[in-house]
Structures are given as structure tokens and as C-alpha cells.
Amino acid sequence: MRTLALVLLVGCGGGGTSGEPIMGTVSLTYGDSKPKMVVGAAVQNKNVVGEMLVQIGSDNVDCESYLDVFLDFDVPSGTFVYFRAPKLAGTANGAVSVMKSSSNSVSINEGTGSFTIDTIEPRVTGTITFATVDEDVGNILVAGTFDVKRCF
């Protein structure tokens, strides 16, 4: 009986979400699906010293993640929202990207969205709004507040 209980516990483990937990109300509608945005991090923009890359996702986002890479097939699996912003509090319009990645495909939709950075210390907090239409997926909508770990 003890052996059976141990096997059941091992069989139920794993499969959880990986990454830095976020707080906030940010939600994503990706066609007919609504993946939960539960992890995120703000990292240094690799190309611009005074900017950060805010990354929010359904899984696999932490301080080592850098989602804003063109033609990289080594991105994590999941659904993600990311944008570049100055490392200052304020409101801006800029490029917002939504990426859906699985073991055999990567799809990225990008367009202009609006975001507000409320704080950058001790965590990066703010709001985001973005909408676009993908001819295969349908409506893609991002809206809400976010509170992610600061990694720079």
C-alpha cells in the first residue's frame, strides 16, 4: 500500500508552470483561446541601454528569458506578450508583440499598442492595451495591469 501511494504521488508531480510569478489583471485573447498570463520578467534590452524588455507569458519566462529575437528557434513553448519600454515611469505607444510557440511552430503578431509604466523599482508595474487581427487566428487582444520581477 505504501508503495502504491508513493507511485501515485510521483505520477501527480511535475507539469507545472515555470518562471517568475506575476501579479495583475493582464489577459490575452488569442483567437478562440484565452491562455493565462502567469509569469513574467523585465530584462535589459540587449540593443538599447536605457530600455527594458517587459515579457509576460503563460509559461517559461524568468530573468534569463529574452523573447525579442528574430528567427530564433530556441524560444520557450507557450504564449507570450512582450514590449520594449524606457526604464522610466510614463505612458508610451510602441511595438507590442504576441508570440505563440510550440514544439513545431512559432507565430509572432506585432503592432502598435499603448502601455504605461507606473514603477520600475522594486518591481516593474503598469498597464498594457493591444489589439490586432491575424488572418488565421482571428482577434488578438491584450489588456490589463501587470507587476513583474525587475531583472536589471
Torsion angle defined by CA atoms of residues 49, 52, 16 and 141, in that order, rounded to the nearest 10 degrees: -140
Nearest Cα neighbor of 75 from 110, 100, 46, 54 is 100
Sort 53 into a burial class: Cβ within 10 Å, 0-12 / 13-18 / 19+.
buried
Which pLDDT belongs to residue 76? 86
Instruction: Put residue 138 in one of left, alpha, beta given phi > 0 → left and psi -120 to 50 → alpha.
Output: left
Tens digit of each residue's pLDDT, the chain (152 residues): 333 333 333 333 445 678 999 999 999 999 999 999 999 999 999 999 999 999 999 999 999 999 998 666 678 889 999 999 999 999 889 999 999 998 788 899 999 999 999 999 999 999 999 999 999 999 999 999 999 999 99
pTM attached to this predicted model: 0.86
The three cell numbers locating residue 4: 502504491
> How many whole angstroms separate alpha carbon 46 and alpha carbon 100?
22
> How many whole angstroms separate alpha carbon 8 and alpha carbon 24?
34
Which pLDDT belongs to residue 18? 82
> How many whole angstroms separate alpha carbon 12 and alpha carbon 32?
29
Which pLDDT belongs to residue 71? 65
List all residues 6 or more positions away from 106 whose beta carbon is below 8 Å from its beta carbon.
73, 75, 99, 100
Which pLDDT belongs to residue 151? 98
Which pLDDT belongs to residue 152? 95
Which pLDDT belongs to residue 34? 98
Rg (CA), the chain: 17
